Amino acid sequence: MRGARRAAVLTATAALALSGCGSDNGGPYSPGAWPGRHSDARNSNTTVSDGLDDVTSSWSRATGGAVGSPATVAPNGQITITSATEAGCNIFSYQMDNGRKRWCTRLGPGVADVSPVADDVANVYVGEAGGLFSFTENGQRRWRIPVSGTPRAAQFAGDESLVVITHFGQVNIVDPQTGMLRAPLFDLVPIPGVADGTNIPRQDPDHGLAGCFGGSPDCPVATTPAIDQDTGRIFTTVWRPGADRAALVALRYPGGDNPVVTEEWSNVDLPGGATTSPALSADATTVYVHDGEGALWAIDAETGQPRWNHDLGYTPATGPAVADDGLLVMSAGGTSGALTALRDTGDGVEAAWDRNDVRQAGVPALTANGRGYTVTQSDDGLTALVFDVADGRTLDEEPLPDATGFSVGTAVGPDGQLVATTLSGEMYVLDGSED
């Protein structure tokens, strides 16, 4: 069965490539992949691929440097990951089935903390200080465009445009085929003009990158935007000049002829500011984001008004995994590593289940058939955990050899493979047993 799904994905991908003059035909996200940092445009940490009930180690690779962002997986199973290496390549692409390196290259500062984004034919989009690149699945450079700052993780809009926001707050709407802008640039942080002083120097494009962990005035946009592909709303966090914290902001990119990006609302009432990437509910009516004091907030996507907030007692490093039925599976954070799930009831939240016996050290990923993947910690190191999303019970555990610390992200392959990446730079791929 797994092989049949693999063949279907490869056949569909080949057909798209042929119809679009090869792998230069950039397109949107495709089902059966984990093409972005949080999987999809909603930042939901979910996939339409079915998960596995039991997993076994397939292969692992060391990148040679620290990894600050999860690996991503194209529809054909090609994995791309970035790493803070001191020399040689700092972006790598591997085959899912056997771990063979397809290509690698070296980009400038900032790339190590950003997950590349893949389209439906495995073209890759990734930023460096001052620029945004696109590569084919074979590592050939398609185009590079200059930007102000360093791009954070990109997303696809409903019209298949690439939405790229730099850490300086510059919003770029890009044609993925040509690299040309489809809308005028929009700056979330005002650019100093004559009235502000004519001798204000232009910042280097990598200025403030160290402050992107958690956000700071030097890194106004430290997170990955979430996009409602039906309405064109773009949700992002922004730390504006003079503010003491980041705000949650909603923009609108309407698409069509002569589109202009506009700001719809800004919510600055979150205690300690917004600290994680926003995540959208399945119907895109609710935005979930964590504040700086340990609470999860549900915000009305249209108005920016709070619906409810819930004190977790800790501040996770990433947002929740958001299932289609309103279940929210929490990431680890602070001193609490419990694996927990909450349910959005519309006007509040209730506990669904709680695994206090599990010391979570990763980011949950949810699959279409109700399976969840994450990484846990024990006295012997890190372990990949497969759990039932309905009640949290353990279905399978598999040690990650020589893995220490914590996992920066979990991804899912087109056949349900579990891909875990650690901060120290190890990537582990786990597959199911052969039929």
pLDDT digits (tens, 9 = 90+) for 294-322: 999 999 999 999 999 999 988 888 899 99
Confidence of residue 114 (pLDDT cuts 50, 70, 90): confident
Rounded to whole angstroms, the Cα distance separating 113 from 127 reads: 10
Full-prediction pTM beyond 0.85? yes
* Model confidence pLDDT, tens digit, residues 146-193: 999 999 889 999 999 999 999 999 999 999 999 999 999 999 998 766
Establish if 223 belongs to a structural domain.
Answer: yes
Establish if 410 belongs to a structural domain.
Answer: no
Rounded to whole angstroms, the Cα distance separating 304 from 214 reads: 22
Rounded to whole angstroms, the Cα distance separating 307 from 104 reads: 45
Helix, strand, coil percentages (3-state) for the chain, rounded to 5, are: 5, 40, 55
CATH number reported for the structural domain that contains residue 33 in this entry: 2.40.128.630
Structural tokens at position 147: 């930007």
Handedness of CA 118, 124, 125, 129 (dihedral sign): positive
List strand residue ranges (DSSP E) for 276-318, in order: 279-280, 286-290, 295-300, 306-311
The DSSP call for residue 386 is E
Length of the chain equals: 435
Establish if 279 belongs to a structural domain.
Answer: yes
Domain count, the chain: 1
Establish if 57 belongs to a structural domain.
Answer: yes
Rounded to whole angstroms, the Cα distance separating 14 from 80 reads: 19
Establish if 285 belongs to a structural domain.
Answer: yes
Establish if 369 belongs to a structural domain.
Answer: no
Residue 90 has pLDDT above 90, yes or no: yes
Burial of 275 (C-beta count, 10 Å sphere; 0-12/13-18/19+): buried
Establish if 180 belongs to a structural domain.
Answer: yes
* Model confidence pLDDT, tens digit, residues 351-361: 999 999 999 99
More confident residue, 101 or 315: 101
Q: Tell me which residue range forms the domain holding 46.
A: 2-190+204-321
Percent of the chain with pLDDT over 90: 74
193, amino acid identity: G
Confidence of residue 420 (pLDDT cuts 50, 70, 90): very high
Residue 109 has pLDDT above 90, yes or no: no
Residue 7 has pLDDT above 80, yes or no: no
The arithmetic mean of pLDDT across residues 260-278, rounded, is 94
Establish if 433 belongs to a structural domain.
Answer: no
